[in-house]
Chains A and B, each alone.
Chain A
Amino acid sequence: MPRSGKTGGVQARKATPETGRYLYAVCRGVDTESLRTVRGIEDQPLEVVEHLDLVALVSTVPLSSFGEEALRSNLEDLAWLETAVRSHDAVVHAASALAPTAPMRLATICFDDHAVRARLREWYISLTHVLDRVEGCSEWSVKVLSPPAASSSPTVDARPSSGAEYLRRKKAAAAERADTTESAVASAGLIYEQLSGRARASRQLPHQDPRLSGHEGTMVLNAAFLVSDAEARSFADLIGLLADEHLGLLVDGRGPWPPYSFAMLG
C-alpha cells in the first residue's frame, strides 16, 4: 500500500490544481497491506495519509468532475451519484471489515495530502472519540413495512352504483388504510424499543422513498442500530423473533454494515 507522502500532493499545490485527494474514511490500526487490492473512485488505487495512529484512506480524483462547479451538477445526476456512492461505500466497507473506521460524508476532497493531514491533526481528538465509539461494533439496519392494502374487499369489484357510493367507498378504504398504518406504527415503536435495548446506540432515519428502495407498502420504521460484533448473533436472532411476533408486517433486518449512522463528530 503506497504511503503517499509526496506524489499525490505536490502537483496539487500549484495555482490551479487539476486533481484532488478524495477522503473516504479515517481508520485506526488498519493493516494497509490488506487494502492493497481495493480500488477507489474511477478505479484509482487507494492510498493512505497518516497522522499519529490515524490513517486516512484517499485516492486521486480529477477536479474536472469533482471540483465545486462540476460536483454541483454531477450530484444532481442520479446515475453519476450512484456510481460515486457505491465506490465510496466499497472502500468504507473494505476498511471497516479490518479496523475501526469512521466513514466520511460523500465528497470530502482536499487539494493535497498536506491538507488531508492537517484535517487529521485538527480533528484528531474528535476522530479518536468516534473511533472509540464504533470500535468492535457494526451498524444494523432494521426496517418495518406495512404491506400494501389488500384489495380483497368483496365490494371492490362491483361498480359503484352512484357517485355518492363511489365517494363513500373511497372514504371507507382511506379510513381502513389509516387504521392499518396506525397499528403498524405502534408495532414498529415496540420493535424499535426492544432492539434499542440490545444495541449500543440507535437512531431512527427518515422513511425511504419507494422509488429508490423499491419497497412495497408503507415503511413505518427505518432504524439504525450500533451493535457490538460480539452480540451480532443474538441481535440477528432478536430481529427474527420480532418478525415472528409481527407476522402482518415485513421486518427487514440487514447488516453488519460500516457504522455510518453513528460516525459524527462531537
Chain B
Amino acid sequence: MTDTTTDVPTTRPYYSGPPSQPGRSQPATLADILERVLDKGIIIAGDIRVNLLDIELLTIKLRLLVVSVDKAEEMGIDWWRHDPMLTVRERGLDEENRVLRERLAELEGGSDAAAEDGSGSQARGRQSGASSRKSG
C-alpha cells in the first residue's frame, strides 16, 4: 500500500527476503533464539524450579533500557521513542522512564517496591521460587 507506482527505483536497500533455497535453514539471530528458547516451547515443571518469568525478554529489554537510558541518549540512540511497543507520545522521557521502572519493579516481584528500587542492577536476590507454571 505504500508504493503504487511501477517505476520505482530498482534498488531494494531494505529487502532481504526469504531464503532462495527453501529447505536450507536461515540462521536465527541471538534475539530470535532467546525469544524462542526462553519464551516459547513446552512448559513442564521439572524437579529444578526455575522461574523464567524472571528473565523474559521484556525484562532484559527493560533492564537494558532503564540502566542505560542516559548513556544511550548521550550517544544519540533513541530508538525507544519510536518503538511502537514503547512509545508514550504525550509523556516526557521522565514519565516514560518512571513507567518503565515501575514495570520493571513489578516484573521483578516487588510490586510495592515501585520507583525507588527499580535500578535494574538489583535484579538478584528477589524471591522467585514460585515457578509452578505447570501448564495444562
Q: Which of B17-38 contact A (CB under 8 A)?
A: 17-19, 22-23, 25-38
- Chain B interface, >50% SS class: loop
Q: How many residues of A contact B (CB 8 A)?
A: 91
Give the residues in chain B near A236, CB-CB below 8 Å: 18-19, 22
Residue ID in chain A nearest B16 by CB atoms: A252
Q: How far is the CB of B95 from chain A (nearest CB, A)?
A: 16
Q: Which of B31-68 contact A (CB under 8 A)?
A: 31-44, 46-50, 52, 54-55, 57-58, 60-61, 64
Give the residues in chain A near B79, CB-CB below 8 Å: 210, 218
Given A237-B18, A254-B26, A266-B135: A248 and B2 interface contact (C-beta under 8 Å)? yes
Interface residues of B (CB under 8 A from A): 1-3, 8, 12-19, 22-23, 25-44, 46-50, 52, 54-55, 57-58, 60-61, 64, 79, 81-85, 89, 123-124, 128-129, 135-136
Interface residues of A (CB under 8 A from B): 20, 23, 26, 63, 66-68, 71-73, 75-76, 78, 81-82, 85-86, 88-89, 92-93, 102-111, 115, 119, 123, 126-127, 130, 141, 145, 147, 149, 174, 177-178, 181, 183, 185-187, 190, 205-214, 218-220, 232-233, 235-237, 239-240, 243-257, 260-261, 263-266
Name 9 A/B residue pairs within 8 A (Cβ), A-sorted.
A26-B42, A82-B30, A109-B46, A110-B46, A177-B81, A218-B83, A247-B3, A257-B28, A263-B42
